[in-house]
Structure 1
Amino acid sequence: MSQAQLPRIMRGREWARPVRPARREVLSAAPAVEEGRPPLLFVPGFGHGAWTFAEHWLEHTAGRGFPAYALSLRGHGGSGPAPEATLRAYAHDVTQVAAGLPRQAVLVGHGAGALVVRHALARYPARAAVLVAPVLGDWATLATALRRNPVGTLPAVVGGRLRLSHRQLFSRDLPEADARRYASRLGRAGRRAQWQLLTHRAPEPAVGDPPVLVLGSPDDRVVPPAALTRAARRHGGAPLLFPGMGHDLMLDARWREPIDAILDWLEKDQASA
């Protein structure tokens, strides 16, 4: 690592005002045969926990030969409570868990977890990154959420809980019972982190300039197609789209399609490295 990169990773503020430690839930799945492939660290969005990836994607990823891990950000899932958590604390969680993995990891962030991953990339030299249905804190996305779900979105703007309905998160291909069951498991992010989602500074450049894939659905009722395009353009590409799917691609009826596309992309990237 060059001297030019060190100041971006270790800052005086990190020493003067360290992030408080927190108990972190990390779920994992290992491939049957270890082939030295990079591990994937899945980072859920606000209100979601590691369980959202453990439902399908962890085992599927391991079945294709990639070690798979899913982190519950502090205050989410089985991690310790953290009602005053910030984006900085969430990024710290990702950086710390990734640094403890056996090899340089691929960071995969979903929803607001994609923004957390972008902040973590300024601290951790990831092998690659994937932004799934990314909520990156722009006002256009907020306007879409307010238009489609004013009752559930408006409280979050003033420090309350963001409430997303099951029909915002999933396509109608997912059985109603499954959609309601998944939605009932959602929690809430720290109120400070929710507000910072709208008021944060742009993430600093990623360490090492890793390749970044952006994917989502043009039928997502949380992230509009234009937001997907903007996110992909930031990284010099176009979004990979899965029509007919909802926001929570990892739980929706056709969950295999996006994770297979991610793993295909990583295999090609490895082959060309």
Structure 2
Amino acid sequence: MSSVRIMRTRDWASPVPPARRELLTATPEVADDTRPPVLFVPGFGHGAWAYAEHWLEHAASRGFAAHAVSPRGHGSSEPAPKATLRAYAHDVVQVAAGLPRQAVLVGHGAGALVVAHALARYPARAGVLAAPVFGGWATLGLALRRNLFGTLPAAFGGRLRLGRRQLFGRDLPEPLARDYTRRIGHASARAQWELLRARAPENPVGDPPVLVVGTPDDRVVPRSALDKVARRYGGAPLLFPGMGHDLMLDTRWQEPVDAILDWLEKGGE
């Protein structure tokens, strides 16, 4: 049986300061108390808007109360140039704890690492890690090979810049791709550096089921990393070939979210 830390000295000795957070919500036409609320968490530079494009309303159309949070410094949340991964996870836990029922946490990209840290503090109904970026020097090496000039500044505290080739499949219309990339901001330099250090998340509270989804054609997350994260949670990744890293914005966005919702309907099995 895995152990879970109950008392964290740092949490009370150095609490995360409060921050105003953006929360977008889509509710089903007919409430269904048998289905858990779903809280979507974006990756670095993205905001709740990335889920509001497609996944938020689609989840509601399938009977799930759906929410998307922008952690501090993202989207329309309060600016936070010195935010840490711990602060991002704190935002997720605070929003999830304020929902009326035990929620499912869904994180994308580096937001999947944030969700993994939040799962160690919040007893989620289930967790979903989409195209998870768990960091480390191997991830940096891949990013440098595929996106040298966009990645190198981030290694020295600058802004990480991801372009169309890193984020989307070839069939996404160019005007949409340009619009999405223009809307992407950046995480704090400190959080980016913490991502490179790749401190492993603690074990989830209550051992919830965790699903890993991704694409073997991801130009940000190598297939080996998908397999490694999935093994950590006792499974194999659910793959969607031909898609880009931003699963929720790519042309075939409906396929992964339907797979996630189907999995939840089956009880996370």
TM-score in terms of structure 1 length: 0.95
Aligned match for 2:27, one of 15, 30, 39? 30
1:20 aligns with 2:17: yes
Aligned match for 1:251, one of 249, 262, 265? 249
Decide whether the 8 Å contact of 1:133 with 1:216 is kept in 2: yes
Aligned match for 1:103, one of 80, 83, 101? 101
Deviation for aligned residue 1:102: 0.7
5+ residue gaps, structure 2: none
Rounded Cα–Cα distance in structure 2 between residues aligned with 1:82 and 1:71 = 15
5+ residue gaps, structure 1: none
Runs of 4+ that moved beyond 6 A: 4-7
* Number of positions where the alignment pairs a residue of Structure 1 with one of Structure 2: 268
Decide whether the 8 Å contact of 2:85 with 2:191 is kept in 1: yes
What amino acid maps onto 2:150 in structure 1? G
Rounded Cα–Cα distance in structure 1 between residues aligned with 2:252 and 2:231 = 26
Rounded Cα–Cα distance in structure 1 between residues aligned with 2:184 and 2:243 = 19
Decide whether the 8 Å contact of 1:9 with 1:122 is kept in 2: no
Deviation for aligned residue 1:7: 7.5
The percent identity for this pair of structures is: 74
Decide whether the 8 Å contact of 1:55 with 1:251 is kept in 2: yes
TM-score in terms of structure 2 length: 0.97
What amino acid maps onto 1:238 in structure 2? A
Aligned match for 1:93, one of 85, 91, 94? 91
- Partner residue in 1 for 2:174: 176
Aligned match for 1:150, one of 148, 173, 183? 148
Deviation for aligned residue 1:5: 11
Q: Over aligned residues, Cα RMSD in angstroms? A: 1.6
Query: Counterpart of 1:174 in 2: which secondary structure?
Result: coil
Could you list the per-position Cα deviations for residues 31-82 of structure 1 after superposition, in whole angstroms to 9, with x for gaps in the alignment?
1111111000000000000000000000000000000000001000000000
1:8 aligns with 2:5: yes
Decide whether the 8 Å contact of 1:9 with 1:124 is kept in 2: no
What amino acid maps onto 1:15 in structure 2? W
Rounded Cα–Cα distance in structure 2 between residues aligned with 1:63 and 1:6 = 38
Could you list the per-position Cα deviations for residues 158-188 of structure 1 after superposition, in whole angstroms to 9, with x for gaps in the alignment?
1000000012100011001100100000001
Cα gap change, 1:5 to 1:123, in 2 (>3 Å): farther
Deviation for aligned residue 1:8: 2.6
Range moving further from structure 2, 67-76 or 132-141 = 132-141
- Partner residue in 1 for 2:196: 198
- Partner residue in 1 for 2:82: 84
